Structure 1
Amino acid sequence: MSDLTPTGMRDAGRLPFDRIGVAVLNELVEAIVSGRVQPGETLPPEAVLSQQFGVSRTVIRESMKRLQEKGMVTVAQGRGTHVNAMSAWNLLDPLVLPALIGHDDALGILDDLSVVRGALEAAMAGALAARRTDEVVETLRASLTTMQENMADSAAFRQADVRFHIAVMELSGNLLAENIARVLFDRALESTRYHGVDPEHAFEMTMQEHERIVEAIDAGDADAARRAMDEHILGSWERRRLPTLRRGKEPQD
């Protein structure tokens, strides 16, 4: 029977009770996402996990419930707890998505995330263009001005960049698309892999692409706005994506 517990969890009894369950759940998510426990495998019984983690069976039972809510396992009475295929997982879950990004050395998850985010934000930009108002255009141009004024300050420029995208989402009025896109965006921004390495003149290129988005919205051209936003998000990711970790290619020197 494999021991799923990392060294740090052996002192779980010293943690406040409300943090013990979180720590156990995090470790179980990591074990599944990392492949230490494969889809189709059965997790150790409750009593064994309780001993391995040094916590009560109540904590283990609650952790299993949380894993099941995330779609990661199926608990069958009398047959044990089986790990589900990734297709069943809630990939937007605040524990699952960061773990996937952290264990994805080929950056495939971030590739897919960028495609989905691009499609969602493109749809929202197109919706803004279709019902263009002076107020919307003024708000977006103000965001552009803030970005331009902070070209020499990397941190401030990046913050202004994020605020521009959030403004497009909020102004679109599509709450479902905004919610999903913001979850993806927030989780991605937490990853150093997503930030990658900016090429020379990266901020200038970002400014030009944002200006094209605003120009298309100002012109009321929904197709152009969708295209400009999608090309910006995918192009920006491709520019800064770590060159030694290209999808489908062997690492390069």
Structure 2
Amino acid sequence: MMAAPDKFSFPPRRRAERLSVAVVSELVELIVTGQLAENELLPPEGPLSEHFGVSRTVIRESVKRLEEKGLLIVTQGRGTQVARSGSWNMLDPLVLSALIDNDESLGILDELTIVRGNLESAMAGAMAARRTEEELTRIEHALQVMRETRHESDSFRQADVVFHLTVMELSRNHLAENIAKRLYLHALESTRFHGMGYENAFQSTLDEHSAVVDAIARQDVAAAEQSMRHHIVTSWQRRRFEPARRQQPES
């Protein structure tokens, strides 16, 4: 039997691959922000190569990756076209992060809240329907940690995240868990998602989480769904700030 090597050695990354990552990242941002509009044709390889200071090989690799993310459509004889936003893979980490980071209107976070609220309410209901005593103990413990850290902002936020991830896991709905977790964890990286502080934030958050746990304990599916959806939507509405409106030029 061969002995395992002390240290695994990754093959060296090609320079073209590193350059492609940078080009892809910039093109994603240009598309997400509308600087490259939907249905617009991408410039030819030559001008793109000159603009980014990379070879045509790097441009071709970058276009291929954007096509895989649903942002570009390559058509024989027509060229490369920016796809409609409905075709983008918005669960792709790079695309989702760019959408959230450039969300000046907060529209994408509003939509994310609705989708997340529906998914997590369904998972809370699923947990209520078939939770075991051991699983109930786990979610009660997650709530108790929130209570114990309510005077420590960072610890409380972390405990809040653990509570939601625990409900997702114990729902046993792996598809919903995967989608909701991606949306939630990426949103947490945005200061816009955390929003403004508001009066009695800790207590109202605890009260709403307690309502979820109480419904799960009673195995009341409808109440668990309603409580979770209410918490996610209303807590976002409380901390959501009104985006600054751009001043109109004087006529």
TM-score of the superposed pair, with normalisation by structure 1: 0.89
Compare 77-86 and 181-190 and name the one that shifted more.
77-86
Q: Secondary structure, in 3 states, of the residue corresponding to 1:178?
A: helix
Residue range with higher mean Cα deviation, 84-93 or 229-238: 84-93
Is the Cα–Cα contact under 8 Å of residues 104 and 243 in structure 2 kept in the other structure? no
2:5 maps to: none
**Counterpart AA for 1:87:** G
Instruction: State the distance in 1 between where 2:97 and 2:127 align.
Output: 30
Give the match's secondary structure for 2:73.
strand
Q: State the shift of 1:20 in Å.
A: 1.2
Per the alignment, residue 103 of structure 2 pairs with: 104
Distance 2:238 2:156 in 1: 17
Q: How does 1:1-253 map to 2 (within 5 A)?
A: 17-244=16-243
The verdict on how the C-alpha distance between 1:243 and 1:251 changes in structure 2, with shifts beyond 3 A counting, is farther
Whole-Å separation in 2 of the counterparts to 1:80 and 1:201 = 56
SS, match of residue 35 in structure 1: coil
Question: Take 1:163 and 1:238, find their aligned partners in 2: how far apart are those partners?
Answer: 21
Q: Per the alignment, in what secondary structure is the counterpart of residue 75 of structure 1? A: strand
Query: Structure 1: which amino acid aligns with 2:136?
Result: V
Q: Return the offset for 1:169.
A: 0.4
Partners in 2 of 1:203 and 1:243 — Cα distance? 22
Distance, in Å, in 2 between the alignment partners of 1:98 and 1:182 is: 14
1:6 is matched with none
Stretch deviating more after TM superposition (130-139 or 207-216): 130-139
Asked if the contact 1:216–1:224 (Cα under 8 Å) also holds between the matched residues in 2, the reply is yes
Task: Give RMSD over aligned pairs.
Answer: 1.6
CA contact (8 A) 2:17 2:58 kept: no
Q: CA deviation at 1:251?
A: 7.7
Kindly provide the CA deviation profile for residues 63-116 of structure 1, in whole angstroms up to 9, marking residues without a partner as x: 101111111111122321111111111111111111112222111110010000
What secondary structure does 1:95 align onto? helix
Gapped runs of 5+ residues in structure 2? 1-13
Letter in 1 for 2:225: R
Q: Deviations along 1:180-205, whole A, 9 cap, x unmatched?
A: 00010011001110000120110111
- 1:120-139 CA-partner distances (Å, limit 9, x unpaired): 00000001111132111100
Q: Is the 8 A contact 1:244 1:251 kept in 2?
A: no
Q: Residues of 2 paired with 1:244 and 1:83: CA distance?
A: 28
- Matches of 1:175 and 1:251 in 2, distance apart? 42
Q: Which moved more, 1:38-47 or 1:208-217?
A: 38-47
Amino acid at match of 1:142: H
Work out the number of aligned pairs and report it. 234
**Structure 1 alignment gaps of length 5 or more:** 1-14
Contact residue 29 and residue 99 of structure 1 kept, 8 A: yes
